[in-house]
């Protein structure tokens, strides 16, 4: 039987930074994966939330429905918080023979039927409004990890109004947590004797956002974090069997951009696609400009904010005159067609009229001079059917170091208000698969879309295992002793 497969799953590893650092010889371990990597990007890669779900399962977001922290409820003008897909999305290792050792793979819950240990949602990145539940299989593993390595928590959060001292403390904490991951992974590899290892580290996610706020110091701090991770993962690999095959992967990266939370809706209203109610019908609070209402809402408790988001969605549009409406988001523009038979007061007929309205709105957004769209995606073209939970149109914006301050369209212009969450970065829809041995990636094209990843990873693991291994129950992967 061949050796195990080891996958380092690095959240928010930006390919451009990795390329530059590797070319300069600053990442001696991770640089080996850069030499032969395959880039993961394509029309189905359009969201941060749910990206790892698709990466591991092969099920696209247009099918599983997890694309944002808020998901539209079909048949209602209302959104709900979510942190899981609508469908069961088993990862590629769910039906593999042999044993597994999964340590904080993103967007994944334990599968009790698998032989081996699985730690989930310990320190993966997630939205504050809808946190997942830390868990493990066996259940005792989580308690052991907490005792040995610390409590479950998000990667270092970002206080945009923090002082230089607080930012420095966050940065140091990120470095400590990267070291903790390395220590935990080393023990798991030494004591696991498994066929598949997945070691997930999310510290580059929030720390990457944090370093962007350091201005001149940010570049050096970012490099130091990548180098810390490089050393830790190299030390894990040194303990691997000689016949192990090793991969490094990331579902998406990070890039410069600022929130444009109300822009899609503002453009729709400015171009006449979304109409406000007549004065007598509107709520008193809706007489305030949309940007001002959102700014006031940002200081309210999260539960109240979510209620007000839905009240605004329901009450501040004249549905008898609106063919489309903007959905609440932070960075990406989401547009929903007011479709008859799907929306409660749908106006647009399914079929040709729906296609025409989608095309008209998409073309109007493509004519924007500011902010400039990077991609205008028509979801029905991606999925082959009219979406039920997802928007009909998704707009991602061009990278920009400075905030967009003005909407400029041939038929409409307006200022863009600054969002309270004035963070200078978002996530690039570009990931990668790299391998220590280039032969491991044989048959994988230079660029592939994100739903294609899982099938390739499964084939790689099956080639490496050389056949099924005997099931072996957990017997303390962190405590020494041979499992099984």
- Measured between alpha carbons, how far is 173 from 189 in angstroms, rounded to an integer? 24
Domain range for 121 is 5-254+427-465
Task: Give yes or no: residues 99 and 192 share one domain.
Answer: yes
Which residues touch 116 (CB under 8 Å, ≥6 apart)? Answer: 99, 100, 101, 102, 192, 194, 472, 474, 477, 483
**125 inside domain:** yes
Least Cα distance to 294 among 201, 389, 396, 420 occurs for 420
205: in domain: yes
Residue 211 inside a domain? The answer is yes
201 and 112 part of one domain:
yes
Alpha-carbon 209 to chain mean position = 14
Q: Quote the pLDDT of residue 273.
A: 98
DSSP element (H, E) containing 256: strand 255-256
In a domain, residue 283? The reply is: no
**Residue at which a domain ends, from 410, 425, 440:** 425
Burial (CB count within 10 angstroms: exposed 0-12, middle 13-18, buried 19+), residue 352: exposed
| Number of domains observed in the structure of the chain | 2
CB 233 within 8 A of CB 181: no
How many Å apart are CA 241 and CA 4, to the nearest integer? Answer: 8
Q: What is the C-alpha to C-alpha distance for residues 259 and 34, in angstroms, rounded to an integer?
A: 30
Instruction: Answer whether residue 345 is part of any domain.
Output: yes
Residue 101 sits in the same domain as residue 233: yes
Last residue of a domain, one of 393, 425, 457: 425
Last residue within a domain, chosen from 371, 406, 425: 425
Q: Does residue 432 share a domain with residue 418? A: no
pTM, rounded to two decimals: 0.89
Is the same domain home to 421 and 454? no
Same domain? 389 vs 450: no
Q: Which residues contact 221 (CB under 8 A, 6 or more apart)?
A: 171, 211, 214
Q: Are residues 215 and 343 in the same domain?
A: no
In the chain (484 residues long), the average pLDDT of successive 10-residue segments reads: 90 94 97 97 91 96 90 89 90 94 95 96 79 92 97 70 78 93 97 94 86 75 95 98 97 82 92 87 50 59 76 88 90 93 96 98 97 94 93 91 90 84 75 97 97 97 61 36 31
Considering the domain architecture, whether residues 404 and 444 belong to the same structural domain is answered as no
Distances (CA, A) of 225 to 13, 25, 144, 166, 402: 11, 15, 27, 17, 24
Do 173 and 156 contact (CB within 8 A), yes or no?
A: yes
Q: What distance in Å separates the CA atoms of residue 283 and residue 244, rounded to the nearest whole number? A: 64
Listed in sequence order, the residues at least 6 apart from 405 whose beta carbon sits closer than 8 Å to its beta carbon are 415, 416
Are the beta carbons of 244 and 5 closer than 8 angstroms? yes
* Interatomic CA distance for residues 481 and 136, integer angstroms: 20
- Dist. CA 390–CA 74, nearest whole Å: 9
Judgement on whether residues 60 and 158 belong to the same structural domain of the protein: yes
Burial 279-288 (b: 16+ CB within 10 A, else e): eeeeeeebee
Taking phi over 0 as left and psi of -120 to 50 as alpha, with beta for the rest, 434 belongs to: beta
Query: Do 42 and 122 belong together in one domain?
Result: yes
Q: Is residue 62 part of a domain?
A: yes
Alpha-carbon distance 254 to 427, whole Å? 4
The answer to whether residue 31 is domain-embedded is yes
Residue 431 CA to residue 40 CA, distance in Å, equals 5
User: What pLDDT does 205 receive?
Assistant: 87
| C-alpha span between 311 and 196 (Å, rounded) | 48
Note whether residue 476 is domain-resident.
no
CATH number at residue 141: 3.40.720.10
In this structure, how many other beta carbons lie within 10 angstroms of the beta carbon of residue 20?
14
Judge if 91 and 124 occupy the same domain. Answer: yes
Are 410 and 460 part of one and the same domain? no
């Amino acid at each position: 039987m061949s050796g195990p497969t080891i996958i380092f799953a690095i959240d928010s590893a930006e390919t451009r930074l990795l390329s530059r650092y590797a070319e300069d010889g600053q990442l001696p371990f991770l640089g080996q994966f850069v030499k032969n990597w395959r880039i993961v990007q394509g029309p189905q890669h359009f969201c941060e939330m749910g990206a790892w779900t698709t990466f591991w399962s092969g099920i696209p977001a247009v099918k599983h429905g997890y694309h944002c922290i808020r998901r539209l409820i079909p048949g209602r003008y209302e959104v709900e918080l979510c942190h899981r897909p609508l469908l069961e999305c088993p990862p590629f290792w769910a039906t593999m023979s042999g044993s597994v050792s999964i340590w904080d793979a993103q967007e994944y819950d334990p599968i009790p039927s698998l032989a081996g240990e699985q730690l989930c949602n310990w320190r993966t990145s997630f939205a504050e409004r809808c946190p997942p539940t830390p868990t493990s299989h066996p259940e005792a593993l989580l308690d052991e990890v907490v005792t040995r390595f610390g409590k479950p928590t998000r990667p270092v959060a970002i206080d945009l109004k923090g002082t230089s001292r607080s930012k420095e403390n966050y940065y140091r904490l990120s470095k400590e947590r990267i070291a903790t991951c390395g220590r935990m992974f080393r023990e798991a590899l030494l004591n696991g004797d498994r066929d598949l290892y997945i070691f997930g580290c999310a510290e580059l996610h929030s720390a990457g956002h944090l370093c962007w706020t350091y201005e001149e110091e940010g570049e050096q701090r970012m490099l130091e974090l990548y180098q810390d991770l490089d050393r830790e993962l190299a030390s894990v690999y040194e303990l691997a069997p000689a016949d192990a095959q090793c991969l490094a992967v990331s579902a998406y990266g990070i890039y410069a951009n600022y929130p444009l939370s109300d822009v899609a809706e503002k453009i729709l209203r400015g171009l006449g696609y979304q109409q406000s109610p007549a004065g007598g019908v509107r709520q008193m609070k809706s007489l305030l400009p949309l940007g001002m209402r959102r700014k006031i809402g940002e200081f309210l408790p999260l539960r109240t904010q979510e209620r007000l988001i839905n009240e605004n969605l329901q009450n501040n549009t004249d549905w008898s005159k609106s063919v489309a409406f903007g959905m609440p988001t932070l960075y990406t523009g989401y547009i929903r067609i007011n479709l008859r038979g799907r929306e409660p007061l749908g106006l647009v007929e399914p079929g040709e009229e729906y296609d025409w309205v989608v095309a008209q709105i998409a073309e109007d957004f493509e004519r924007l001079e500011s902010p400039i769209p990077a991609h205008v995606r028509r979801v029905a073209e991606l999925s082959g059917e009219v979406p039920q939970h997802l928007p009909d149109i998704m707009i991602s914006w061009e990278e920009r170091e400075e905030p967009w301050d003005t909407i400029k369209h041939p038929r409409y212009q307006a200022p863009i208000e600054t969002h309270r969450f004035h963070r200078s970065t978002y996530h690039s829809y570009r990931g990668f698969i790299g391998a220590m041995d280039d032969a491991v990636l044989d048959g994988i094209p230079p660029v592939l879309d994100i739903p294609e990843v899982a099938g390739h990873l499964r084939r790689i693991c099956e080639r490496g295992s050389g056949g099924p291994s005997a099931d072996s129950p957990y017997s303390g992967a962190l405590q020494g002793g041979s499992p099984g």
